[in-house]
Amino acid sequence: MEHQTHHHMTDQNNGNHDKDHQHMGHGGHNHNAMIADFRKRFYVVLVLTLPILLLSHMTQQWLHLQIGFSGSQYVLFLLSTTVFVYGGWPFLTGWFSEMKAKNPGMMTLIGFAITVAYGYSTATVFGLKGMDFFWELATLILIMLLGHWVEMRSVAGASRELELLVQLMPSTAHLIQENGTADVKTETLKEGDLILVKPGEKIAADGLVEEGESYLNESMLTGESKPVLKIKGQKVIAGSVNGNGSLKVRVTHSSKDSYLFKVVDLVRSAQDAKSNTQLLADKAARWLTIIALLAGITTFVVWISLGRDIAFAMERMVTVIVICCPHALGLAVPLVVARSTALSAQHGLLIKNRTAFENSRKITTVVFDKTGTLTKGKFEVSRVSTIGEQASNENELIRLTGALEAHSEHPIATGIMTEVKKRNLTLPQVSDFRAITGKGVAGVAGGRKVKIVSPGYLKENNLQLPPDYHTVGNETVVFVLINDQLAGFVALADVVRPESADAIATLHDNDIQSILLTGDNKQVAESVSKQLKMDGFFAEVLPHEKLEKIKKLQKKGEFVAMTGDGVNDAPALAQADIGIAVGSGSDIAAETAGIVLVNSNPQDIVNLILFGKATYRKMIQNLAWATGYNVVTIPLAAGVLYNQCILVSPAIGAVLMTVSTVIVAINAGLLTIKN
C-alpha cells in the first residue's frame, strides 16, 4: 500500500515522476521494485563512470596522466552511450511522457540537459571542434540516479504511517465452527461469523462481544490511550489489541466494510486530494520549469556572445537546468500532506476534506454543541439527600429508587442504575408498577409504597419542598415519596468532562473564542459556560435554528468551526467554515463534516487546530526552502561569480538538487501531533 500512496503523492508533484517510471516495466506501481531499479542502475553507472573519468582529457590534465591509445575516444563514446541510454532511461522516458501530457516538469529538464550534453559530446568525437564533456554527463546521471534512489526512500517514509494502519489488520482469524475452531484468512470473514480472539491478539473484524470480557487497546485507531473494558453486547473495532481476556465476537461487517478499511480509504483519498496549498506549489513548480529552460538558454546565449566556447556555455546551461529542477518544490506539500493525514488517523482525527483541515489555522471561534462533547452526555448522580425517617440512609433511598427505575429506558433511570451498580446494591422486587403520566413512576417495593416524581408533582399535591432543596446550575432533581411522605431527593447532572476546561483554556491561549450551543435551558447553559470560562452561549436552540446562529457569527466576520454529532447538526456543520463531526467515529459517513473526530474528547478539537497550524507551518517552511534554494543557486550555476572563481559544475548542481529534496522530505517527517 505504501507504493500506492507514494504514487498518489508524486503524481501531485509537478515532476509527475511516478508516471515516468511506468515506462520502466514496473507499471510505476511497485514502489520497492522502483527503488531497487534505481539502485541497480546507479551501481552499473558507477562502474562505467570510472573508465570514463580516466579517459577524459579534463581528468587527465588534473591528474597529470597520459592515457591514450588509438580509438580511445571511441571507447569513451561507447561507454558514455551506455551510461546515457541505460542510466538516463528513466529520465528520457519521463521526458517523453511529460511532453505527451503537455506537462513539462522535472523529467523534461533532466532529459533535456543530458540529451544536450550527450549530443554535443558525440559531435566532438565525430569531427566537431571542441571539448567533449562525457565525464560531466556520466557524473550527472550517476548523481541523479543516486538522488532519486535516496529521495524515493525518504518519500516512502512519509507514507509509512498509512502502511502502519493497514498492518493493524491481522491476516488470520480463529473462526468458531461446529467442530471446533479453524484459522481462516481475515478477508474471508462475513457478517454473522463467530470468531475467537485470544489474549494479546488483534481483533480481526468489527463486531459485538458475545462472550467473555477484556480490556482492549484502541489507541492506534482512536487515539484513546487508556485500554477500554469490553463486555457482552459491546462493539469492538477491527485492529484493536486484546488484553488478557478471551473474547468470542460476532462479526458485524466483512473486512472491506470495517472501520479500519474505511479509515485507510479515507486517508488515501485525503492524501490524494489537492488543497489550495498544493495547487499553489504545483503552479510554482510549473513556473520553475519554464524559468529553468529560459534561464538555461539565456545563460548559453550570454556566454557565447561574451566569446566563450560552446563547451563552456553548454556546461553552464546544463548546470542551470539541473539545479532548477522543481523537485523539492513538487514534493514540499505532498509529503507533508501524506504524513499529516496518516498521523491524524492514528490519533482519532479523520480528515475528509484537506482544505478544511488546512484552514483550521484560521479559526477564530469554535462553537461547541454541549451534550456529549464538553459534557459526558449522560446523567450521573450528583447529590443524594434523605429527609425525615422514611429512608434510613442514602443507600436505602437509592435502592428503592433503583428498584422502580430498573424498568425504564429514560436517561435519568440509566443514571440512577449506574449509581446502584457503583454502590453494589441489591434491588427489592417491585409489584403494582405504574407510570404517573408526565410526572414520574409509582409501585410497591420491599413492601412499601414508593413514588418517584418531579418537583411539579410536589407543587400540585401541596407537598412542602425540603429546606435544603436548591438546584445547582445544570441539575435535574427527582423526589422520592415513601408511603406518601417525602423521603428525599436524588439530583442528577450531565457531568462536565474533566478535559473540557483545559481545552477551552488552550483555545483562549491561541486567541480563539469558544461558544456553547445547546437545546438545554438557559440555566444549564449558563452554568456550563461559566464553569468552563467560555466566551458565551446560545441556549434553548432548536436543531433548525443552529444554522442561523452560525450565520450570525459569520456575519460578524468570525471564521467558525462547529462541532456536532453529525446527524441532527448536519445543516449547521455544513454552514460552518469547518464542520467537525464528533463522536461518530464508527460512522465515518458524517457526510457534511470536513473532519471527523472518533472520540468526543474536546481536547481532540484543540489538538486538531494546533496540528492544522503545525502542518501549514511545515508546508510553508518546505515551500520557502525549495524556492529560496533556487533563488540562490541559479545565479551561481549561470556563472554570475565566474570572475571570483566561483563556478558550480553539473554534478555539484545535481548534488545540491538532491540534498534540497531530501531536506524537504526530512522536514516533513518531523511533523508530529502534540498530545
CATH number at 437 reads: 3.40.1110.10
Note whether 325 and 203 are same-domain residues: no
User: Is residue 225 in some structural domain?
Assistant: yes
Q: How far apart (Å, rounded) are the C-alpha atoms in residues 290 and 324? A: 10
Tell me how crowded residue 509 is: count the other CB atoms within 10 A of its CB. Answer: 9
- The whole-number pLDDT of residue 15 equals 37
Element (H or E) spanning 612, and its range? helix 602-638
524: left (phi over 0), alpha (psi -120 to 50) or beta: alpha
- The single-letter code of the amino acid at 280 is L
Q: Which residue has the higher pLDDT, 669 or 150?
A: 669
Note whether 196 and 227 are same-domain residues: yes
Domain of residue 542 covers 349-374+497-598
Q: pLDDT-based confidence at 84, cuts 50/70/90?
A: very high
Q: How far apart (Å, rounded) are the C-alpha atoms in residues 377 and 494? A: 6
Kindly report the pTM of this predicted structure.
0.67
Q: pLDDT-based confidence at 585, cuts 50/70/90?
A: very low
The yes-or-no verdict on residue 257 having pLDDT over 50 is: yes
Query: Residue 129: CB partners within 8 Å, gap ≥ 6?
Result: none
The yes-or-no verdict on residue 70 having pLDDT over 70 is: no
**Lowest mean pLDDT, pick from 346-355, 475-484, 536-545, 582-591:** 582-591
Q: How far apart (Å, rounded) are the C-alpha atoms in residues 606 and 190? A: 38
User: Is residue 67 in some structural domain?
Assistant: yes
Q: How far apart (Å, rounded) are the C-alpha atoms in residues 625 and 324? A: 13
- The single-letter code of the amino acid at 12 is Q
- The whole-number pLDDT of residue 558 equals 92
- Nearest of 512, 621, 593 to residue 560 by alpha carbon: 512
DSSP, collapsed to helix, strand or coil, labels residue 272 as helix
CB 447 within 8 A of CB 422: no
Residue ending a domain, among 495, 523, 552, is 495
- The whole-number pLDDT of residue 512 equals 93
Q: Which residue has the higher pLDDT, 83 or 664?
A: 83
- The whole-number pLDDT of residue 367 equals 92
Q: How far is CA 616 from CA 261, 337, 362, 442, 627, in A?
A: 27, 10, 11, 60, 17
Query: Residue 10: CB partners within 8 Å, gap ≥ 6?
Result: 16, 17, 18, 155, 330, 331, 334
Note whether 44 and 157 are same-domain residues: yes
User: Is residue 581 in some structural domain?
Assistant: yes
Helix runs in 324-393, H state only: 327-346, 354-359
* Grid coordinates belonging to 447: 413492601
**Lowest mean pLDDT, pick from 264-268, 292-296, 614-618:** 264-268
Q: Taking each helix axis from N to C terminus, what angle separates 602-638 and 500-509, rounded to the nearest 10 degrees? A: 30
Note whether 235 and 126 are same-domain residues: no
Q: How far apart (Å, rounded) are the C-alpha atoms in residues 402 and 134? A: 91
Residue ending a domain, among 257, 280, 299, is 257
User: Is residue 612 in some structural domain?
Assistant: no
The yes-or-no verdict on residue 513 having pLDDT over 90 is: yes
- The whole-number pLDDT of residue 560 equals 94
The yes-or-no verdict on residue 408 having pLDDT over 60 is: yes
Q: How far apart (Å, rounded) are the C-alpha atoms in residues 328 and 662? A: 8
- Nearest of 475, 499, 511, 535 to residue 610 by alpha carbon: 511
User: Burial of 644 by CB count in 10 Å (0-12 exposed, 13-18 middle, 19+ buried)?
Assistant: exposed
Element (H or E) spanning 230, and its range? strand 228-230
Q: pLDDT-based confidence at 476, cuts 50/70/90?
A: confident
Share of the chain above pLDDT 70, in %: 84
Note whether 19 and 123 are same-domain residues: yes
- The single-letter code of the amino acid at 139 is T
**Lowest mean pLDDT, pick from 93-102, 549-558, 564-573:** 564-573
DSSP, collapsed to helix, strand or coil, labels residue 553 as helix
- The whole-number pLDDT of residue 14 equals 38
User: Burial of 64 by CB count in 10 Å (0-12 exposed, 13-18 middle, 19+ buried)?
Assistant: exposed
The yes-or-no verdict on residue 276 having pLDDT over 80 is: no
The yes-or-no verdict on residue 325 having pLDDT over 80 is: no
Q: pLDDT-based confidence at 505, cuts 50/70/90?
A: very high
Note whether 149 and 295 are same-domain residues: yes
User: Is residue 176 in some structural domain?
Assistant: yes
Note whether 144 and 234 are same-domain residues: no
Note whether 480 and 553 are same-domain residues: no
Catalytic positions are 369
**Lowest mean pLDDT, pick from 12-26, 95-109, 111-125:** 12-26
How large is the average pLDDT for residues 272-290? 75
DSSP secondary-structure letter at 244?
S
Question: End-to-end CA distance of the chain, in Å?
Answer: 28
Helix runs in 384-538, H state only: 394-405, 411-422, 455-460, 500-509, 522-531
DSSP secondary-structure letter at 599?
S
Note whether 367 and 421 are same-domain residues: no
- The whole-number pLDDT of residue 5 equals 34
CATH number at 213 reads: 2.70.150.10
The yes-or-no verdict on residue 296 having pLDDT over 80 is: yes
- The whole-number pLDDT of residue 310 equals 80
How large is the average pLDDT for residues 417-444? 83
CATH number at 562 reads: 3.40.50.1000
User: Is residue 611 in some structural domain?
Assistant: no
User: Is residue 605 in some structural domain?
Assistant: no
Note whether 233 and 278 are same-domain residues: no
**Summary mean pLDDT of the chain:** 79
Share of the chain above pLDDT 90, in %: 12
Query: Residue 183: CB partners within 8 Å, gap ≥ 6?
Result: 172, 173, 174, 175
pLDDT in tens, 13-56: 333 333 333 332 223 346 678 888 888 999 999 999 888 887 77
Q: pLDDT-based confidence at 69, cuts 50/70/90?
A: low
Q: How far apart (Å, rounded) are the C-alpha atoms in residues 652 and 658? A: 10
How large is the average pLDDT for residues 67-71? 67
Q: Which residue has the higher pLDDT, 511 or 276?
A: 511
Residue ending a domain, among 463, 495, 527, is 495
The yes-or-no verdict on residue 249 having pLDDT over 50 is: yes
Note whether 115 and 102 are same-domain residues: yes
Q: Is the dihedral of CA 628, 633, 634, 636 positive or negative?
A: positive
User: Is residue 603 in some structural domain?
Assistant: no
Note whether 136 and 209 are same-domain residues: no
Long-range contacts of 185-194 (CB under 8 A, 24+ apart): 186/255, 187/254, 187/255, 187/256, 189/251, 189/254, 189/255, 190/251, 190/254, 191/251, 191/252, 191/253, 191/254, 192/250, 192/251, 193/250, 193/251, 194/248, 194/249, 194/250, 194/251
Beta bridge partners of 564: 581
The yes-or-no verdict on residue 198 having pLDDT over 80 is: yes
Tell me how crowded residue 320 is: count the other CB atoms within 10 A of its CB. Answer: 31
Q: Nearest 5 degrees, angle CA 412-CA 417-CA 418?
A: 95
Q: How far is CA 504 from CA 349, 439, 602, 604, 610, in A?
A: 18, 37, 8, 11, 13
Q: Is the dihedral of CA 159, 165, 168, 173 positive or negative?
A: negative
Q: Which residue has the higher pLDDT, 257 or 128?
A: 257
The yes-or-no verdict on residue 1 having pLDDT over 50 is: no
Tell me how crowded residue 423 is: count the other CB atoms within 10 A of its CB. Answer: 14
How many CA atoms, within 13 angstroms, populate the side-chain half-sphere of residue 42?
14
Number of domains in the chain: 4
